[in-house]
């Protein structure tokens, strides 16, 4: 743990908080008898043909790792708890945790369901003060939210270094890095442990003669720019040296979409169709909430097994096959369902040509976005009064569901879609709002 900053060193500016084994910790908080015991969280219920998406610290100590198949986890750890993911529960706990953290300091950015960062105020930048804030956050979470929901916290001059510090002493760690600590305090780490160093970047660094942290530390910003092939490399190396350099804020979204791994009973195209409908309806809600209209859709699937027709060309998600179409920009869910029906017919035709037509997962994306307020209606296909009324109807349904809970109001014609089935949803990348489930 670093001591006080010396004159001329970059000041402490960032606190980064990373929750430990988040999904598994929530399950232990909710299930008292599993506290302190090994458990894993899996995407699907009642199947051993799936891997762990979260592992409790007790299971990690016994050699269980994320991605390990259930049967292997049970071999290593007889009696291990296996629980299907409950993303609505994890999101609810996330929002409770955020409210507690904000009692101590304003959040600067929520990076994922289990990672947040705080910009330290001028009065919080001394090491003792910053450490006191971190300990107060940890104590507040344990006392007012849940003792199982531990976190690791890093404090450093840049957000990049604070994130790295948070990962150095997991679980339940607290690490402070000052300019005086660097690079000695991190020199032992592999390059791939540094946030932002992917395998691809690691290979580029190796080609440039950089194979360790001391070598990375010596890179000049212009050299890093050349290795990365963009200004991202220069930003990275400056942040690595403790400068307060962040990437520019993200621009408007390029698409809205959802994907799901299918449980065994939902793997044929007819059984998966309601899931695809549920996905496009959820994407449409997010589209309208953002004030956007969509003029394109992509349906992507991954077959359970490879075979003829795999790796078809298509726009959008990674997968074995994808189909897209364009249409006049709309915000109306009925329009999106009709377009999805046309794409699904192509999926079914492809499935009929395969020895094994079963699907592993399905995803739907709405794209070719434009602001709803700036939407230009086609001169020869102007929206009639009925279409405008249907868009207003869906906007009102969204408003009622936000107020009274998701799916409190839904058209009777959609009951056959079984919207309550949403399959497995990994909630790390996007944080749904409360009531979205």
Residues with a catalytic annotation lie at 115
Beta strand pairing call for 14-19 and 115-119:
antiparallel
Secondary structure class of 194 (helix, strand, coil): coil
Which residues contact residue 32 at a Cβ distance below 8 angstroms, ignoring those fewer than 6 apart? Answer: none
Per DSSP bridges, beta strands 109-112 and 115-119 are antiparallel
Closest CA to 56 of 48, 46, 70, 66: 66
Return the closest-CA partner of residue 360 out of 277, 279, 264, 428: 264
Task: Round to whole Å and give the CA distance between 161 and 158.
Answer: 5
Q: Which residues pair with 15 in a beta bridge?
A: 118, 155
Q: Look at phi and psi of residue 339 and say left if phi exceeds 0, alpha if psi is from -120 to 50, else beta.
A: alpha
Q: Which helix (H) or strand (E) holds 351?
A: helix 333-352
Burial class (CB in 10 A: 0-12, 13-18, 19+), 54: buried
Q: In degrees rounded to 5, what are phi and psi of residue 115?
A: -140, 130
DSSP, collapsed to helix, strand or coil, labels residue 413 as: helix
Round to whole Å and give the CA distance between 201 and 208. Answer: 11
Distance, in Å, from the CA atom of 39 to the CA atom of 81, rounded to the nearest integer, reads 4
CA dist list (Å): 130 to 105, 244, 306, 364: 11, 17, 53, 44
Q: Cite the DSSP H helix spans in 356-436.
A: 385-404
């Amino acid at each position: 743990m670093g001591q006080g900053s010396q004159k001329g060193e970059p000041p402490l500016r960032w606190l980064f908080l990373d929750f430990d084994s988040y999904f598994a910790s929530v399950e232990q908080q909710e299930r008292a008898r599993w506290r302190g015991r090994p458990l894993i969280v899996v995407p699907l219920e009642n199947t051993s043909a799936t891997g762990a998406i979260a592992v409790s610290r007790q299971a990690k100590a016994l050699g269980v790792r994320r991605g390990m198949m259930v049967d292997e986890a049970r071999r290593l750890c007889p009696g291990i708890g296996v629980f299907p993911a409950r993303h609505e529960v994890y999101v609810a706990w996330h929002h409770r945790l955020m409210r507690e953290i904000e009692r101590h300091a304003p959040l600067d950015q929520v990076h994922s369901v289990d990672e947040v960062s705080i910009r330290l105020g001028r009065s919080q930048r001394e090491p003792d003060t910053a450490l006191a804030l971190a300990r107060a956050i940890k104590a507040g979470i344990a006392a007012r939210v849940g003792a199982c929901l531990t976190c690791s916290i890093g404090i450093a001059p840049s957000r990049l270094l604070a994130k790295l510090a948070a990962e150095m002493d997991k679980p339940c760690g607290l690490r402070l890095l000052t300019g005086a600590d660097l690079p000695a305090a991190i020199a032992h780490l592999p390059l791939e442990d540094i946030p932002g160093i992917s395998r691809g970047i690691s290979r580029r660094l190796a080609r440039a003669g950089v194979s360790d942290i001391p070598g990375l530390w010596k890179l000049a910003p212009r050299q890093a720019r050349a290795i990365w092939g963009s200004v991202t490399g220069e930003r990275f190396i400056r942040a690595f040296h403790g400068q307060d350099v962040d990437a520019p804020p993200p621009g408007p979204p390029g698409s809205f979409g959802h994907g799901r791994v299918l449980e065994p009973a939902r793997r044929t195209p007819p059984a998966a169709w309601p899931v695809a409908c549920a996905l496009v309806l959820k994407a449409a809600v997010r589209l309208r909430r953002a004030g956007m209209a969509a003029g394109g859709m992509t349906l992507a699937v991954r077959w359970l097994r490879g075979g003829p027709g795999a790796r078809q060309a298509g726009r959008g998600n990674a997968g074995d096959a994808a189909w897209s179409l364009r249409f006049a920009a709309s915000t109306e869910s009925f329009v999106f369902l009709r377009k999805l029906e046309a794409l699904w017919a192509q999926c079914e035709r492809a499935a009929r040509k395969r020895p094994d037509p079963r699907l592993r997962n399905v995803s739907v994306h709405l794209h070719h976005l434009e602001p709803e307020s700036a939407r230009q209606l086609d001169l020869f296909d102007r929206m009639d009064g009925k279409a405008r009324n249907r868009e207003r109807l869906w906007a009102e349904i969204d408003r009622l569901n936000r107020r009274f809970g998701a799916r409190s109001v839904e058209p009777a014609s959609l009951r056959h879609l079984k919207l309550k089935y949403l399959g497995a949803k990994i909630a790390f990348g996007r944080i749904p709002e409360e009531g979205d489930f």
